Amino acid sequence: MELRLHNTLTRSKDGFRPLDPLNVRMYVCGPTVYDHAHIGNARPVIVFDVLFRLLRRLYGEAHVKYVRNITDVDDKINARAADRGISIRDLTEETYRWFREDTAAIGCLPPTVEPRATEHIAEMRALIEKLVAAGHAYVAQEHVLFNVPSMPDYGQLSRRPLDEMIAGARVDVAPYKRDPMDFVLWKPSDVGVPGWESPCGIKTPGRPGWHIECSAMSWRHLGETFDIHGGGIDLVFPHHENEIAQSRCAFHTGVMAQMWLHNGFLMLEGEKMSKSLGNFVTIRELLEEWPGEVLRLAMLSTHYRQPINWTRQGLGFAAKTLDKWYRVVGEVEAEGGEGNPFEHEIAERLSDDLNTPSAIAHLHHLAEVAEHEETSSALRRRFKGAANLLGLLGDTEDGWRARAKAAIALDEGVIAGLIAERLAARKAKDFKRADQIREELAAKGIVLMDNKDGTTSWEVAR
Distance from C-alpha of 351 to C-alpha of 16, rounded to nearest angstrom: 10
| CA max distance for the chain | 89
Quick one: 225 or 321, whose CB is closer to Zn ion?
225
What's the closest the beta carbon of residue 74 comes to Zn ion, in angstroms? 12
Q: Are 28 and 67 in contact (CB under 8 A)?
A: yes
Q: Say if residue 239 carries a ligand binding annotation.
A: yes
What's the closest the beta carbon of residue 256 comes to Zn ion, in angstroms? 11
Q: What is the DSSP string of 337-353?
A: STT-HHHHHHHHHHTBT
Quick check: helix, strand or coil at residue 396?
A: coil
Quick one: 168 or 205, whose CB is closer to Zn ion?
168
Task: Give the list of residues 6+ apart from residue 17 with CB closer than 8 angstroms, or none.
Answer: 258
Q: What is the DSSP string of 223-256?
A: -SSEEEEEEEGGGIIIIIHHHHHHHHHHHT-S-S
Quick one: 239 or 444, whose CB is closer to Zn ion?
239
Q: Say if residue 243 carries a ligand binding annotation.
A: yes
Distance from C-alpha of 139 to C-alpha of 130, rounded to nearest angstrom: 13
Q: Where are the alpha helices (DSSP H) in 113-230?
A: 121-133, 162-170, 210-222
What's the closest the beta carbon of residue 290 comes to Zn ion, in angstroms? 29
Quick one: 9 or 29, whose CB is closer to Zn ion?
29
What's the closest the beta carbon of residue 157 comes to Zn ion, in angstroms? 12
What's the closest the beta carbon of residue 126 comes to Zn ion, in angstroms? 18
Q: Say if residue 29 carries a ligand binding annotation.
A: yes
Q: How long a stretch of residues is the chain?
A: 462
Quick one: 214 or 233, whose CB is closer to Zn ion?
214
Distance from C-alpha of 111 to C-alpha of 217, rounded to nearest angstrom: 14
What's the closest the beta carbon of residue 271 comes to Zn ion, in angstroms? 27
Quick one: 214 or 387, whose CB is closer to Zn ion?
214
Q: What are the two backbone dihedrals, phi and then psi, of residue 331, each rounded to the nearest 5 degrees?
A: -105, 10
Distance from C-alpha of 299 to C-alpha of 284, rounded to nearest angstrom: 15
**16 CB-side CA count, 13 A:** 31
Amino acid symbol at 179:
D
Quick one: 3 or 214, whose CB is closer to Zn ion?
214
Quick one: 235 or 286, whose CB is closer to Zn ion?
235
Q: Are 265 and 309 in contact (CB under 8 A)?
A: no
What's the closest the beta carbon of residue 262 comes to Zn ion, in angstroms? 12
What's the closest the beta carbon of residue 244 comes to Zn ion, in angstroms? 11
Which helix (H) or strand (E) segment is 208 a member of?
A: strand 206-208
Residues in contact with Zn ion by CB under 5 A are 29, 214
Bond before 180 cis per omega within 30 degrees: no
Quick one: 259 or 360, whose CB is closer to Zn ion?
259
CA terminus-to-terminus distance, the chain:
39
Bond before 188 cis per omega within 30 degrees: no
79-88 — which CB contacts under 8 Å span 24+ positions? 80/34, 80/35, 81/34, 88/194
What's the closest the beta carbon of residue 366 comes to Zn ion, in angstroms? 37
Annotated binding site for Zn(2+): 29, 214, 239, 243
Annotated binding site: 29, 214, 239, 243, 275
Annotated binding site for ATP: 275
